[in-house]
Structure 1
Amino acid sequence: MRIAWFAWLTRHFGEYGYSDGPLRAAIGTGAVLVTAALLWLVLHRNRPAATAAVGLTCALGIGWLAFH
């Protein structure tokens, strides 16, 4: 499941920015949040690393969506 998610995300990397309208922006934000949740599940045994990875993923993902 995780590999399939990351494959889908890389295939559609440039299609879901905030400049593409509210529906695509919502899909893009949802994709960032699902990716962050998957990172939390992978790293949940090391809580500081999981928190840092999720925070960095959200910040970079939403930042990328805002400027593309």
Structure 2
Amino acid sequence: MRIAWFGWLAQHFGEYGYSDGPLRAAIGTGAVLVTAALVWFALHRNRPAAVAAAGLTCAVGIGWLAFH
């Protein structure tokens, strides 16, 4: 499932920015949060790494949406 999610996200990478309106911004933010959750679950055995990676994923994803 994780690989399928990342593949789908890569395919639709440029479609969900904050400049495209509130609905697409909400969908893009949701996609970033789901991706951060998947990163967390992938690294859940090492809690500090999971927190750092999920936080970085969230910050970079939302930052990309904001300046896209």
With normalisation by structure 1, the TM-score equals 0.98
Partner Cα separation in structure 2 for residue 36 and residue 9 of structure 1: 12
Query: What residue identity is the alignment partner of 1:41?
Result: F
- Note the residue ranges of structure 1 that are not aligned, 5 or more in a row: none
Aligned counterpart, 2:38: 38
* Partner deviation per Cα, 1:9-65 (whole Å, 9 max, x = no partner): 000001000000000000000000000000110000000000000110010000000
The two structures, once aligned, show a CA RMSD in angstroms of 0.4
Please name the residue that 1:29 is paired with: 29
Runs of 4+ in structure 1 displaced over 6 angstroms? none
The TM-score with structure 2 as length reference comes to: 0.98
What is the total number of aligned residue pairs between the two structures?
68
| Consecutive unaligned residues in structure 2, runs of 5 or more | none
